[in-house]
Structure formats: C-alpha cells, structure tokens
Amino acid sequence: MLCELPVRAYAKVNFGLNVLPLQTSGVNAGFHNIESIFQTVDLFDELVVTKQAGNVKTCTVCCDSMELPEENTLTLAFRAFSEVTGKNDFGIHVQLNKGIPSGGGLGGGSSDGASLIKVLESLYNIKLTESQLSEIAAKIGSDVFFFTRCNENGTGCALVSGRGEIVKNIQGRTDLFLLLVFPGVSSSTKTAYSLIDEMYERSEVPLSPDFSCYEEIYRGNPASWSFINTFTPVISKEYPEIASALKCVRESGAVYSEVSGSGSTVFGVFTCEQQAETAKSLLGDKWSCKVCRTL
C-alpha cells in the first residue's frame, strides 16, 4: 500500500496592506509592490499526498468540494519544484480537502502550493536553499514567498514587502482572536488591482502608516492600530456585500476590523475568545462566520 502523507496548509490574514503604484521599471516591473504583515491563523486546508507507482511523473489533484482548473497552484508547485531541483523521479496524487474559502484573500491556494513543496522536500529527503525556495515561489505566486518562509508546522508571521518576495520573519502574536466573515462573493484579484490603478489616477489613495512602524503598531493594543488596506474602499464600493459585512463586524465589538488581502473575507480582531464567539452568534444568522486564533 502506498504511503499517504497528510499536511495542513494554514490561511493567512493581512494586518495592514499598503498597495503601491504599479511598477513600470526595475525588477518588479508589471507588479504592485506591497507593505504588509502576514500572519497565519488556525484555519486550514488539508493535503493528502500519495506517491504514485510506475512511470507516472505528474501531479494530479482531486478536490471534492470545488472544481479546480487543470493548472492550479499545486500542479504549478510540482512543476516548479522539478524545474528548480532537476528532480522528477515519480508522480504524486493530491487529495485536497478545503477548509479555506477560495477567493477570500486568505492565501489558501498559495499555502497549498507551499505545503506541497515541503512534502516534496520530505519525499526526496532534501532541504531547499532560500534561493531555491524564492525561485520556486516566483513561478507560483507572490504570496507563496511568505508561506515558504513559515516554520516546519506551516505557521508564522512576517513583514512582507516588494511584490511579496521580501519576507522578514517576526515573532507572531498568539493572543488575538479573529472573527472571519465570508460575504458570499468572490473578489477578483485582477479586478481589485485595476481598481487600485484607477484610484491612483484619481489621487484618492488612503494614507497608510510608514512601513518602518508596522511592527511597533502590531505589538500595541489592536484598538489603537492605524493599519489600512488600500483595497478596502475600492472593493467595498465594487461589492456591496463586503461593505455590509465590514459594517456589521465593526458594530459587533471588534477592536479592529478590515478586509484581508484583496477580499472578500472581512475580519474583526478581539482580545477575548468569548467576545469573538458572541460576535459570531450575533452575525451568524446573516453571514457565514468562523472564529480563529492567530498562530
């Protein structure tokens, strides 16, 4: 019987997400640089990876809860690993059990890809260098840089900048409880960035704290956090459901609330689990909600 290797791929939230203008020159030309704190939470997908017998040297993926495109972050991760390491001795099958909503700004696909890379390291009994990890991440997606820098358990917290490739790990807080609210719409990342471009053309960009102050702000009382998400005003206007969910979370007692990533997930920060659960019970009739803890 072939060995099955299960692994968890944790979601992330953004505490602050300052999106800078589209780069027209330099190494990140064609991308928007960002400034953010990424932190994992105890919401996760599960990957069950099986090494394939015979001459099959591809990655196949099965997900019962959603239909995945033929090319997805897992197949991209498998191919990138093979290209960078030169290793393609066997194929794998991945059973993907989704716990992270797709298209919610929680990094589920990127976390899945990074988790598969760790499984492949184990199967080949190798340890990739930081340079190799960066090369692989660049072939998959910008959020993958962060997830490949998480610890062996797949959790972590970091200051993230550039297109996402500059990752400075910091000690994460584990004393925060988040109420995640899923508005029931999928926010298109491509659309969100085009709306950012239009906002810059109109010079209507919200003021973000200086990136050098992010960690100091993060260490303070969340009720005093001055983080902003550049996406929030434009996607709230584009998707009224997000605006409504954000209003409800802000009225639920959260000491800080924002959109994660380019949406559509809205989160509220609480310093007491019971208060987060109470807010969930208040909003649960209208929205799909989950209480998570920072990891």
- Based on the residue annotation, tell me whether 210 is a catalytic residue of this protein: no
Residue 206 DSSP code: P
CA nearest neighbour of 262 among 66, 107, 98, 42: 107
Collapse the DSSP code of 51 into the 3-class scheme (helix H, G, I; strand E, B; otherwise coil) and give the result. Answer: strand
User: Counting Cβ atoms within 10 Å, is residue 89 exposed (0-12), middle (13-18) or buried (19+)?
Assistant: exposed
Angle ∠(140,141,145) on CA atoms, nearest 5: 100
- Lookup result for tokens 């009720």: 223
- Based on the residue annotation, tell me whether 197 is a catalytic residue of this protein: no
Q: Which of 12, 118, 280, 290 is catalytic?
A: 12
- Lookup result for tokens 């508005």: 183
Pseudo-torsion of CA 238, 41, 113, 138, nearest 10°? 70
Q: Which of 45, 112, 118, 143 is catalytic?
A: 143
| Rounded Cα distance, 267 and 291, in Å | 9
- Residue 46 tokens, joined: 């599960």
CA nearest neighbour of 37 among 197, 209, 188: 209
- Lookup result for tokens 């001055």: 226
- Lookup result for tokens 């310093």: 271
CA nearest neighbour of 104 among 136, 140, 66: 66
| Catalytic sites, residue numbers | 12, 143
